């Protein structure tokens, strides 16, 4: 069994913001596979699907970003999912808009959602699909305002493609392994 958790902030005011790109991937996967993400448990909403006989839980934590680990760790504990079978999908300002990077472990890199998950799982050995949302052009720009801002018209087609690629990467991780997914999508 795998857990794919898209990170974001709950509430309509955060929909289609840079920080919520993880939610967009989970919503896309749910639509494509006719899965309803409506069950509420452990501070998150989720749905279940199968990929080549492997059960996959699609999760959208309903805590704010910096507390994402509370929901992720409770799902892992309840469903007995080890960190190695957790796939976190989140934004990354150090990558150009639309570029994705897959990693099997590592630091939080300044991302508060990842920091919370590392702390709550007591492990950094979970997979991450990081989606580039670009960085603010102005160095003095407030980072919180930037990641909570909406995508520009020019960024939307690029990010739609990265959402599709990220969903494909989840499938590749489950069917062929993380190494194969990294070779194909990084």
Q: What does the block give as tokens for 68?
A: 């994402």
In whole angstroms, what is the distance from residue 124 CA to residue 127 CA?
Answer: 9
pLDDT score of 153: 85
Task: Quickly state the pLDDT bin for 144 (edges 50, 70, 90).
Answer: confident
Per-residue confidence band for 175, with pLDDT thresholds at 50, 70 and 90: very high
- Cβ burial of 168 (10 Å; 0-12, 13-18, 19+) is middle
Count CB-CB contacts under 10 A for residue 41: 12
Quote the pLDDT of residue 17: 84
Higher pLDDT, 150 or 94: 94
Asked whether the beta carbons of 50 and 174 are under 8 A apart, the reply is no
Average pLDDT for 64-76:
96
pLDDT of 137 strictly over 80:
no
Q: Which residue has the higher pLDDT, 162 or 135?
A: 162
Give 146's contacts (C-beta < 8 A, 6+ positions apart): 18, 93, 135, 136
Domains in the chain, CATH or no CATH each: 2-185 (3.40.50.1470)
Indicate the average pLDDT of the chain: 93
Active site residues: 19
């Amino acid at each position: 069994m795998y857990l794919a958790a898209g990170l974001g902030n709950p509430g309509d005011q955060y929909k289609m913001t840079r920080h919520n790109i993880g939610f967009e991937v989970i919503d896309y996967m749910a639509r494509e596979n006719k899965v309803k993400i409506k069950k509420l448990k452990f501070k998150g909403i989720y749905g279940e699907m199968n990929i080549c006989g492997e059960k996959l839980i699609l999760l959208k934590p309903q805590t704010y970003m910096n507390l994402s680990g509370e929901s992720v760790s409770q799902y892992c504990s309840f469903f007995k999912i080890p960190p190695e079978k957790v796939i976190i999908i989140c934004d990354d300002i150090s990558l150009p808009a639309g570029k994705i990077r897959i990693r099997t472990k590592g630091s939080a890199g300044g991302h508060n959602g990842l920091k919370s998950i590392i702390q709550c799982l007591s492990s950094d050995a979970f997979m991450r699909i990081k989606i580039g949302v670009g960085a603010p052009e102005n160095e003095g720009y407030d980072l919180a305002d930037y990641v909570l801002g909406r995508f520009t018209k020019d960024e939307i087609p690029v990010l739609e493609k990265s959402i599709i690629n990220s969903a494909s990467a989840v499938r590749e991780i489950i069917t062929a392994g993380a190494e194969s997914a990294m070779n194909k999508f990084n």
